[in-house]
A and B are shown apart, each in its own frame.
Chain A
Amino acid sequence: MEALAALAALTGDEAKAASAAGSAGFAYGLAAIGPGIGIGYLVGKSVEAMARQPEAAGMVRTTMFLGIAFTEALALIGFVVFILIGL
């Protein structure tokens, strides 16, 4: 309540800055969910593959890093958006 009142008291640029800070946090938090799940699944499956076939571990590791790189890009774009909005 108090916070809302404080928000209401802000005007113009200040209100804009406050909402930007809030939405930046949301932007990054939401952007991190999908890649987090994705990377966890990906690495887990890779470990499983390496445990099943240790002789293919080198190839699996390379492919795993490639997959991580592609998946992680989404979270990083979220991070860049966070910086663009929030700062």
Chain B
Amino acid sequence: MIALEFPPINEILRWKDLFPGFNKIALIAVAAALIGTIIFLLAGSKDHKTAPKGVRNFAESIVEFIENGIVMQTMGRDGLGWTPFLMSLFLFIYLCNVPGIIPFLQMPATARMALPMFLSLLVWVVFIGTGFKHQGLGYLKSSLFPPGVPKALYILVTPIEFISTFLVRPFSLTVRLFANMLAGHILLVTFALLSEALFQAKGNPGLIPVGVLPLFMLIFLTGFEVLVAFLQAYIFTILTAVYIGGAAHPEH
């Protein structure tokens, strides 16, 4: 019998204040913004005439990725003006996700509700604002009364469209990012705890070698979390692009 007790969830998620009103999550968020700024500051100050190397190459490949992989795929050429916003969104989310697997930090800042909620509310405001800016009040008409539907069906379609466009979108954006990162964090904690408990099993020394198995799983999951951190940042950004593109041009 081993004594394996999973700690209450807040014990693995909430952190002591480093100083009043500033905890680890805030530190990670600030550091993410700072690192992103520094990367682009360094990249911008390098000589731009020769072939890019090092940090400039990195920054330019991010720009190309956002432009070719996200903007051109979802919004077309008209959306290229959104590149800086989408890029800061992508970089910020990625740099907040990645501390989940960095030793001694071990906490994705997006596994707390605050950041995903703020970001998706911001996206919500931005895409609705874009819709009204490009189409005026016609935005409400084109989003609530989609063309090509028989008149009688609007009783059914309009509430559904309203819920799915204006309520479910921010909610699903929030929950997707938050729950993915939280689930990854809990998985890592679970396997780390299991491995530790097996290594320290007192009464039964035969269990000690078995502790290697969850350790391997932990390593595998860490690699998986690298992928998830990137993928969630990508999906959040591309969904933002799709929402903004849909609000700007209803025909798409």
Q: What is A's interface to B at a CB cutoff of 8 Å?
A: 58-59, 62, 65-66, 68-70, 72-73, 76-77, 79-80, 83, 87
> Which residue of A59, A62, A72, A87 contacts B176 across the interface (Cβ within 8 Å)?
A72
User: B234: nearest residue on chain A (CB-CB)?
Assistant: A65
Contact, CB under 8 Å: A76 / B73 = no
- Chain B: minimal CB distance from A14 (Å): 16
Show 9 residue pairs from A and B whose CB-CB distance is below 8 angstroms, ordered by the A residue.
Answer: A66-B239, A73-B172, A73-B176, A76-B176, A77-B172, A77-B175, A79-B179, A87-B8, A87-B9
Residues of chain A contacted by B69 (CB below 8 angstroms):
62
- The interface residues of chain B lying within 8 Å CB-to-CB of A80 are 175, 178-179
**Residue in chain B with minimal CB distance to A76:** B179
Q: Which residues of B (30-73) have their CB < 8 Å from a CB of A? A: 69, 73
Given contacts A83-B9, A87-B8, contact A58 B73 (CB under 8 A): yes
Q: How many residues of B contact A (CB 8 A)?
A: 19
- Apart from A59-B73, A65-B234, A76-B183: 12 A-B pairs, beta carbons within 8 A: A58-B73, A65-B231, A66-B235, A66-B238, A66-B242, A69-B239, A70-B172, A72-B180, A76-B179, A76-B180, A79-B179, A79-B182
Task: Give chain A residues whose Cβ lies under 8 Å from the Cβ of B182.
Answer: 79, 83
Q: How far is the CA of A80 from the CA of B235 in the complex (A)?
A: 19
Q: Bound state CA distance, A59 and B76, in angstroms? A: 13
Question: Separation in Å of the A50 CB from the closest CB of chain B?
Answer: 15
Interface of A is mostly: helix
- The 8 A-B pairs with the shortest beta carbon distances in the complex, nearest first, are A76-B179, A73-B172, A69-B235, A62-B73, A87-B9, A79-B179, A76-B175, A73-B176
Q: Which residue of B lies closest to A58 (CB)?
A: B73
Residue of A with least CB distance to B183? A79
Distance in Å: Cβ of A11 to nearest Cβ of chain B:
22
Q: How far is the CB of A3 from chain B (nearest CB, A)?
A: 17
Residues of B within 8 A of A66 (CB): 235, 238-239, 242
Complex CA–CA separation, A76 to B168 (angstroms): 13
Give the distance in Å from the alpha carbon of A58 to the alpha carbon of B77 in the complex: 17
CB neighbours of A68 from chain B (8 A): 235
B130 is an interface residue with CB less than 8 A from chain A: no
Bound-complex Cα distance A58 to B73 (A) = 9
